[in-house]
Structure 1
Amino acid sequence: MVKRKILRGLTGLFIVILIIDVIASFYFYDLAISRGPKDFLSGNKDLEVSAETMEVLLDGGWREWVSEQEFEHIEMTSRDGLLLQGYFLEAKEPTNKLVIAAHGYLGRGSDMALYGQYYYEELGYNFFTADSRGHGRSEGDYYGFGWPDRLDYMDWINLLVEKLGPETEIILHGLSMGAATVLMTAGEDLSDNVKVVIADSPYTSVHDLFSYQINRMFHLPSFPFIHSTSVVTKAKAGYSFKEASALEQVKKAEVPILYITGNADTFVPTEMTQELYQNTKSKAELVTFDNANHGESFVSDEEKYKKVVKEFLEENFEK
């Protein structure tokens, strides 16, 4: 009789926990994956940057620069039927060099003009950026965190090579989610036209990122919440958190990769970039920026950033 009561009690407790987990998994899907405003990031201390950085991001000259450029608007339909929007800026002088820039979570292609201005004005390259699925003017009701996006970027690469010619040489430059995206792309059967990948503030995998964030933001363990949310994401968005792994992709990469991170990054911890670097199959370099928070390296020390990029390109690209 006592054993039966204990068993009933445990069964009831299990059912309650299961119900809570199911509710939580749909809540976290809507919170992070489903397209829409993400108020939970407002006031997040891990995303705080210096006043100087904020001024550049909000009112820097690069914003005026991008508004003055005559970008060619290019549309592409993804393999699963989404209409995606891209923006191409032809170099002032003929060149076969092209930068494809991938933006971060909740951003849009135009955000990458912060880097595009350097590539276009100082290096004289063609520049392309796109609104990733679920962002900006592109279709999609969820955020892919780089995994479905990697196929989109492979198709953008092929489209642009067809447009510009078979001699086109490409840099993939990504920031945050965009950095994970270009790393995930690098692990695929990549076009020989891609010569260099630059990943600024990437995460190892969506599972690792969310496991870190659920503890930091909500003081909850990753199990069972991240695992069950991954199941919901697989059902609704077509990918799971563990398969969305930049770490596994760089183990297959053949293109040189430059990793950039700030040693004060607490949103995507610096250790993730270090782990990616240590597991990269291809030639790789890691550069850390002192006192830079997430995605802040370029603004915190623009001169060093440009120098690092230029030297890496001279060694691996401009030959």
Structure 2
Amino acid sequence: MRNGGFMAGQDDRNRKGDGLAGAFTSALSLLGAGVRVLSGSALFDFALNPSSSQSIMARLGAGAAGGIDSFAPTGDPFRDEARSWFEASKQSVELPARDGGVLFGWLLPADPVWASPDRHALWSDFGRGRRYGIFCHGYTGKPSDLCVEAYLAHKAGINVLLPAARGHERNADRYVGMGWLDSWDLLGWTGLIVTCDPDAKIALYGVSMGGAEVMMASGLDLPGNVRCIIEDCGYTSVWDEFSVQIGMQLHLPPIPFLSAASAVCKRRAGYGFKEASSVNRLRSARVPMLFIHGTADTFVPYEMLDKVFDACASPEKERLSVEGAGHGMASATNPDAYWGRVSAFLGRHLA
């Protein structure tokens, strides 16, 4: 049901990894710094530059590679209904980006009376003191991947905002931020809500890269309106996650390849892989947090749950391990435990 069904596309991802690994094997005939620069640029373009013809986003669009967070398992009786609701109800919203230009998202009001006939959100109609959820999708995904979560929140009377991550959907003209750049954008999205509803009660929720995004936001100067954060299978840092993937997908060591890619990312996108750390931001967290992870997750290894939970400085924090759940599959594996815990957590903090 979630946007993270990684295992469903394992064969395609193996082919994708083999193809890129072959390109690197050819490059290894070069020597010294030339290899590091070439590999760093190639890795950056593949993973983080959607405008590159060699990017994973381009390969997904051409059907040449399986997605990482975009597979939806079958058997979810609510997904078709939720997707139809999402498409019929979504309203475009815009946020001026701190580095220029505009970022886009979708707003789904809890009450249809607020729907705007021109399909743009009439924020001023929301009144005051209402409940909001900002839901953050995963890598190579899109906001509609969280249509079921948004639909359930809508039924509970929560207004849902689903920003597209940098490098994704309508924000595909930017480099992928892996949650780090997007965490700063969350300050803007929360500020947009608070400007229109000073008494708003806001929850942040994210899965996979979105989970890392909300953890990275936890240590920023969030407005007091943000009452709680829920993260599902987010990673400890971009470096740690890419270290797992470069070995599993490409059979390459992190050094020098990942070091080179991080240097390229710092120069072109403005952040390094070690700098982009959920763990470091969590050390400044003050908002109540719920951490969720499937015990069978090998894509974002389950062991990362202990590290992020232990790092969290919030005086109120909880964790939920879902036995046997793979990456992003916790809610589908045990929906009663998952949604029971999430509903109780939101009920306490958005009351």
TM-score normalised to structure 2 length: 0.79
Q: Distance in 1 between matches of 2:167 and 2:350?
A: 32
Map of 1:73 onto structure 2: 92
- Cross-structure match for 1:175: 207
Aligned amino acid, residue 131 of structure 2: K
Q: Is the Cα contact below 8 Å between 1:215 and 1:221 reproduced in 2? A: yes
Matched, 1:113 2:147: yes
Q: Distance in 2 between matches of 1:67 and 1:120?
A: 14
Q: Choose from 262, 266, 276 the match for 1:230.
A: 262
- Given candidates 292, 295, 298, the residue that maps to 2:331 is 298
Q: Which runs of 4+ in 1 moved over 6 A?
A: 46-49
Amino acid corresponding to residue 37 of structure 2 in structure 1: V
Q: Which residue of 1 aligns with 2:65?
A: 42
Overall identity of the aligned pairs, in % = 34
Could you tell me whether the CA contact under 8 Å between 2:154 and 2:160 is conserved in 1? Answer: yes
Bigger RCO (CA 8 Å, 6+ sep): 2
The partner residue of 1:97 within 131, 156, 163 is 131
Structural mapping, 1:140-289, within 5 Å = 140-163=173-196, 165-282=197-314, 283-289=316-322
Please tell me whether the aligned partners of residues 131 and 350 of structure 2 are also in contact (alpha carbons under 8 angstroms): no
Native 8 Å contact 2:132 2:160 kept in 1: yes
Q: Report deviation, 1:58.
A: 11
Q: Is the 8 A contact 1:83 1:139 kept in 2?
A: no
1:62 correspondence with 2:77: no
Distance 1:118 1:48, change over 3 A: closer
State the partner residue of 1:31: 46
The whole-number CA distance in structure 1 between the counterparts of 2:334 and 2:49 is 34
- Deviations, residues 101-142 of structure 1 (Å, cap 9, x unaligned): 111111122222221111111x11111111122111125331
Which of 118, 129, 137 is residue 162 of structure 2 equivalent to?
129
The answer for the alignment partner of 1:7 in structure 2 is none
Highest Rg: 1 or 2?
1
Q: Any conservation in 2 of the 1:82–1:140 contact (CA below 8 Å)?
A: no
Deviation at 1:57, TM superposition (A): 10
Q: By how many angstroms is 1:17 displaced?
A: 3.2
Q: 1:19 — aligned with what?
A: 34
Equivalent pairs counted in the alignment come to 300
- Alignment RMSD: 2.5
In the TM superposition, what is the alpha-carbon distance from 1:296 to its structure 2 partner?
Answer: 0.9
CA distance in 2, matches of 1:27, 1:55: 38
C-alpha separation in 2, matches of 1:75 and 1:264? 37
Query: How much has 1:226 moved relative to structure 2?
Result: 0.9
1:248: Cα distance to partner? Answer: 0.3
Distance in 1, Cα, partners of 2:213 & 2:273: 14
Deviations 1:161-204 (A, max 9, x none): 112x1110000001111111111111101110000000011000
Q: What secondary structure is seen at the aligned counterpart in 2 of 1:196?
A: strand
Deviation of 1:78 (Å): 0.4
TM score, norm. by length of structure 1 = 0.87
Q: Which runs of 5+ in 1 are unaligned?
A: 1-12
Partner AA of 2:299 in structure 1: F
2:73 aligned counterpart, secondary structure: helix
**Structure 2 portions without partners, runs of 5+:** 1-27, 114-126
Q: Distance in 2 between matches of 1:132 and 1:150?
A: 10
Whether the 8 Å contact between 1:84 and 1:139 is mirrored in structure 2 is no
Give distance in 2, aligned partners of 1:81 and 1:110.
Answer: 25
Cα distance between partner residues in 2 of 1:17 and 1:101:
44
Matched-pair contact (CA < 8 Å) for 2:295–2:324: yes
- Cα deviation 1:231-281 (Å, max 9, x = unaligned): 000111111101110110011000011011111111110111221001110
Q: Distance in 1 between matches of 2:262 and 2:250?
A: 17
Tell me the SS of whatever aligns to 1:224.
helix
